[in-house]
Structure 1
């Protein structure tokens, strides 16, 4: 955080110091009870209903309490300053707006059912050679992390890139109010979090919140190939729109896409020019991720050739279609990072290309957060599998059994097994695996059992 004097903050928040000194600098900001108070020189927004632990706050002083409590009893706390404001909520947003506007830098935010962490990391990796880049960590994108991430921007930051978490409608709108992005990206809109958004239409509307959250004159980057993205309401967006994909309307278009050693090669066509490109990691969805990242960094002024060159050295996160040697010389594809219908379909398309003449083994776990559409989407995956040449299908979980049942119903030729818990499998699949076996394992991020099972297969 860029340090700010208490005197400055008093003016910004239109507050009144009712206890302590204003002659010191604040270098961290939290919302009390929502964020950890880990540092000294912290400003804490304290609501009327919060019970204040004065001793703890004072021990980590100097501390600044900002509150709209009117009947506040302040003990003898030498390292604590108390500022009273008329409305805590209004003061909080005054501070957010003030702090964000201290920095005239490109801020990219990303949403999408799949690919947002990868695109975020691609952008960061591509820019890091020449810029000081601040970003969200891994896929830790919950709305409550937005304020701490904003506080990570300081005078040395030249660009920032964050991904949006979406659990419920309103989450992305809230995060955009904090980040105030200059560039917004939607990677794909598939199916997820229907329990928090009601249905697919509600989910699309929730993703659409990023459109209204981009700063005036900003840029929106969209997937031209994605059917649900075409349902976005863009009439009121006054900024620039850039499309990426394989379709004719794409400003950043991929052609001659091929699976090669270690990743994907393709031709990038943009601005009447063609560029040879390569991205580590398998699947056409990985090419799509690269197009979104290149479009974003080019919008920030980076040369396209330089961006392509940097992306050649990009390293995918662990458990993102991660290839490893496994039991009995088999090949294990660990895709246990996330699990939703869109990511399952993308993984199956990878198998379509690299699984020819292989003994394909699918191990699929439950897909969570589908609300009332849980059975429908699990069954749709079963139908997808039935159309493919799969040697063995193993489902794990009470929900995933619908995948197995539908695959049987649709005439799958696979050997199909279902288990309620991953620990029931043990070594029962080991005899199925040899040098010709290609094993894809997908499960929910929250399933430690699935992650450990994938590790055992890789050993």
Structure 2
């Protein structure tokens, strides 16, 4: 079934359609475009109009543009609008308006993408599911997700992020969710918000877009839980708290053999589930997911059973064994809360030495150096045997550690990666974590190569 006809897309955007085309998908990237997609020529690092000819050559059904690009035929299949991003937003709103799907929106300082993926997997078998790809959660990611949503979707999961004040509310109003889940509120993007309260208010703005009598799923026991409740109450939402003592409650999460055996109480009923991870913070996110799906009318028992099929995304806490080395790849992002959770995951595994390889945490504002130093006093750090660090900010943690815990410190992650063979040995358990821009992920790849055993020649 087609996603957009030329007439429907023109009506949604108020644009002018050339040709009688039909699109089966929506794409913003010629590297991954599929035949039949509508190519959206967004202005980003490069002007998408420069790639329209290439998109059409690759089989795009049409292109959303604000002019006929150079080198493109004047009668080419196009949808011409005054502003391409505004046109994509209009497609997103129209995509949302024409579906009867139950929409769950997810935000939070930590765990948005993994929680979104967890919800998608948990809903398997409960109808037609549509979810955001990758970390598509910003001013173009949300409308793109909505524009890609098939008309007959049963459940949709939309991820909403932010880096500056005022970004979440308009995206939530575009998505118009029935249920909105906040994973947690932590010290991330403090440069833009100044204090945790400011981050909490921005996260709480996700409730502004809720459908009438929608549900707000909020974490209990945070310093800012009261603020989140105020935001939910202002929006007229039904509030469901989740945590150790919330209406949705994690009873236990017991690690064994690389998995977590969990029990939770959701809407007055007890459910057991298993996660393929040892990070207990993922168990708490799973409780939030089950609470959100319960509020959306899904079968919670079936969702709980399906959770065993979820795997942490690459760079977000998955555990892998490489020639005797146990590696926790958590190199996609970091702030004090998520790094503390990563250390807990590390110390929850049994085996050889526990080694943390840490890159800078970024966008923490004027207290960033103190936040790095404070990690030396994290309770889990007492069980870490060795810390290697990269970056000028993480040097402050390194210097605060007792001498016996200090491994290597380098100015850059690439310098640390060059010494991968010195960082760990067979039998060790290694956590690699840092902000994405710290580039600490290069150490992950270096460790994989260093400990890879080639297949013998026959």
Partner of 1:297: 293
Counterpart pick for 2:430 among 433, 439, 447: 439
Deviations 1:71-103 (A, max 9, x none): xxxx98233577788x99987766543332100
Partner of 2:456: none
- Give the Cα–Cα distance (whole angstroms) in 2 for the partners of residues 405 and 54 of structure 1: 49
The CA deviation at 1:30 is: 7.9
Larger-Rg structure: 1
TM-score by length of 2: 0.81
Partner of 1:284: 280
- Give the Cα–Cα distance (whole angstroms) in 2 for the partners of residues 298 and 390 of structure 1: 39
Name the CA shift for 1:164/1:454 in 2 (closer, same or farther; >3 Å).
farther
Do residues 115 (structure 1) and 107 (structure 2) align? no
Gaps of 5+ in 2: 453-458
Deviations 1:220-240 (A, max 9, x none): 111113333333232312122
Partner of 1:309: 305
The CA deviation at 1:35 is: 12
Partner of 2:238: 240
The CA deviation at 1:423 is: 4.0
- Give the Cα–Cα distance (whole angstroms) in 1 for the partners of residues 48 and 113 of structure 2: 37
SS of 1:188's equivalent? coil
- Give the Cα–Cα distance (whole angstroms) in 1 for the partners of residues 325 and 121 of structure 2: 32
Name the CA shift for 1:142/1:46 in 2 (closer, same or farther; >3 Å).
closer
Name the CA shift for 1:95/1:332 in 2 (closer, same or farther; >3 Å).
closer
Partner of 2:377: 383
- Give the Cα–Cα distance (whole angstroms) in 1 for the partners of residues 435 and 423 of structure 2: 25
Name the CA shift for 1:239/1:360 in 2 (closer, same or farther; >3 Å).
same
The CA deviation at 1:201 is: 2.9
- Give the Cα–Cα distance (whole angstroms) in 2 for the partners of residues 326 and 51 of structure 1: 41
The CA deviation at 1:305 is: 2.2
Partner of 2:448: 455
Contact preservation (8 Å) 1:30, 1:147:
no
Name the CA shift for 1:2/1:140 in 2 (closer, same or farther; >3 Å).
same
Partner of 2:172: 176
The CA deviation at 1:404 is: 1.2
Aligned residues: 440
- Give the Cα–Cα distance (whole angstroms) in 1 for the partners of residues 127 and 133 of structure 2: 18
Do residues 323 (structure 1) and 314 (structure 2) align? no
Partner of 1:166: 162
Matches within 5 A, 1:51-450: 56=53, 77-79=74-76, 96-232=92-228, 233-234=230-231, 235-247=233-245, 250-326=246-322, 329-354=324-349, 359-384=353-378, 388-408=382-402, 414-425=405-416, 426-427=418-419, 430=422, 433-435=425-427, 437-446=428-437, 447=439, 448-450=441-443
Name the CA shift for 1:214/1:11 in 2 (closer, same or farther; >3 Å).
same
The CA deviation at 1:383 is: 2.7
The CA deviation at 1:215 is: 2.4
SS of 1:217's equivalent? coil
Deviations 1:135-158 (A, max 9, x none): 112334333222221121113422
Q: CA RMSD in A?
A: 3.9
- Give the Cα–Cα distance (whole angstroms) in 2 for the partners of residues 51 and 431 of structure 1: 43
Name the CA shift for 1:376/1:171 in 2 (closer, same or farther; >3 Å).
same
Contact preservation (8 Å) 2:322, 2:448:
no
- Give the Cα–Cα distance (whole angstroms) in 2 for the partners of residues 389 and 30 of structure 1: 47
